């Protein structure tokens, strides 16, 4: 993790306006902006509204403006990251509003019950699989009683994506049955082009990742979280974003594309627990009881 982000992730792109992490792993087009903003607002809504110290685990350089809102109502934002480059950029961005600590999430150098809120976005699934339990326990340990921590995670199996892609997989399965029908292949190509607009961009995106240092990734299923933590704290699952970046990259930069994302956003808002379970990126909410 440290090597990847120091060498690649937290370097600026050719314009100097974005970090390469965002260019590699996010869809930054205008059509997706409201959808992305709503996801980050959900994090803000689930942490306590105000307090003294907010812990931002693997804060990076606080690269998106929407990340700033997490610390609204807090005296200090404590940014923790393995990357010294990231912490320097975060300090440049928020200055005296933050404290900056180079540390490992599996061994946080803080006392128990030190923070009024904890946020950790896209961090835990980059921790070695057998150490992710340590990381979650560290977030819980450093959180004050009666307060909340919010983790953005990534499920290993995206049930929603499999459901959406089913018609196209079915189409692939029946190709051989209609190969002799005049004009059939032309129709198939047109239908697939409509359903997978931008697939070439996705292929390019994946091929670009082969030219940079590897980034470790392992995600556990919900059953693992239940088994590991049910005796320690109640885990609440909500939706951050139900669709992943490859899906976002297929959305056209158009009014119709905006309508599609608005519809998905409205479904997520109406059914946050369901979409958190079947979608791509859940919000895992850790509430520390007063008895802890």
Decide if pLDDT at 157 tops 90.
no
What pTM value is reported for the model?
A: 0.82
In this prediction, residue 210 carries a pLDDT of 53
164 pLDDT band, cuts 50/70/90, is low
In this prediction, residue 212 carries a pLDDT of 62
95-105 tens-digit pLDDT: 999 999 999 99
Decide if pLDDT at 170 tops 70.
no
In this prediction, residue 176 carries a pLDDT of 54
Count Cβ atoms within 10 A of the Cβ of residue 87 and give its class: 0-12 exposed, 13-18 middle, 19 or more buried.
buried
- Write out the two tokens for 175: 């190709």
**11-15, 50-54, 85-89: least confidently modelled range:** 11-15
Secondary structure letter of residue 62 according to DSSP:
-
- Write out the two tokens for 219: 């995600």
Count Cβ atoms within 10 A of the Cβ of residue 62 and give its class: 0-12 exposed, 13-18 middle, 19 or more buried.
buried
- Work out the widest C-alpha separation in the chain, in whole angstroms: 72
Decide if pLDDT at 106 tops 80.
yes
* 79, β-bridge pairs: 56, 100
22 pLDDT band, cuts 50/70/90, is confident
**235-241 vs 281-287, strand pairing mode:** antiparallel
199-246 tens-digit pLDDT: 333 344 344 545 566 788 999 999 999 999 998 998 999 999 999 999
Q: Mean pLDDT over all residues of the chain?
A: 85
Which domains can be identified in the chain, with CATH numbers?
2-158+209-287 (3.40.50.150), 162-208 (no CATH)
∠ Cα 104 110 111 (to 5°): 145
In this prediction, residue 21 carries a pLDDT of 86
| Averaged pLDDT for residues 55-65 | 95
Closest CA to 219 of 292, 141, 282: 282
In this prediction, residue 7 carries a pLDDT of 79
- Write out the two tokens for 281: 């990126």
In this prediction, residue 159 carries a pLDDT of 67
């Amino acid at each position: 993790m440290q090597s990847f982000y120091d060498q690649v992730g937290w370097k600026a792109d050719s314009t100097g306006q974005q970090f390469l992490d965002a260019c590699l792993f996010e869809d930054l087009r205008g059509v997706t902006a409201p959808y992305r903003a709503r996801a980050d607002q959900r994090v803000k809504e689930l942490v306590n509204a105000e307090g003294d110290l907010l812990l931002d685990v693997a804060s990076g350089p606080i690269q998106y403006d929407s990340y700033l809102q997490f610390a609204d109502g807090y005296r200090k934002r404590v940014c923790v990251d393995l990357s010294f480059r990231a912490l320097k950029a975060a300090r440049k961005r928020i200055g005296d509003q933050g404290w900056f600590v180079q540390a490992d999430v599996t061994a946080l150098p803080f006392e128990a019950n030190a923070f009024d809120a904890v946020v950790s976005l896209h961090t835990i699934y980059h921790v070695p699989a057998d150490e992710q339990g340590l990381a979650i326990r560290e977030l819980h340990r450093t959180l004050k009683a009666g307060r909340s921590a919010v983790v953005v995670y990534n499920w290993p199996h995206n049930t929603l994506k499999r459901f959406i892609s089913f018609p196209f997989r079915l189409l692939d399965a029946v190709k051989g049955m209609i190969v002799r029908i005049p004009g059939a292949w032309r129709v198939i190509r047109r239908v697939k082009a409509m359903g997978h607009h931008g697939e070439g961009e996705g292929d390019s995106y994946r091929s670009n990742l082969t030219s940079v240092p590897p980034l470790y990734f392992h995600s556990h299923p919900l059953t693992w979280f239940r088994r590991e933590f049910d005796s320690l704290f109640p885990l609440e699952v909500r939706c951050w974003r139900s669709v992943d970046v490859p899906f976002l990259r297929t959305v056209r930069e158009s009014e119709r594309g905006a309508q599609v994302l608005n519809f998905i956003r409205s479904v997520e808002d109406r059914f946050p627990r369901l979409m958190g379970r079947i979608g791509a990126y859940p919000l895992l909410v850790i509430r520390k009881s007063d008895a802890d």
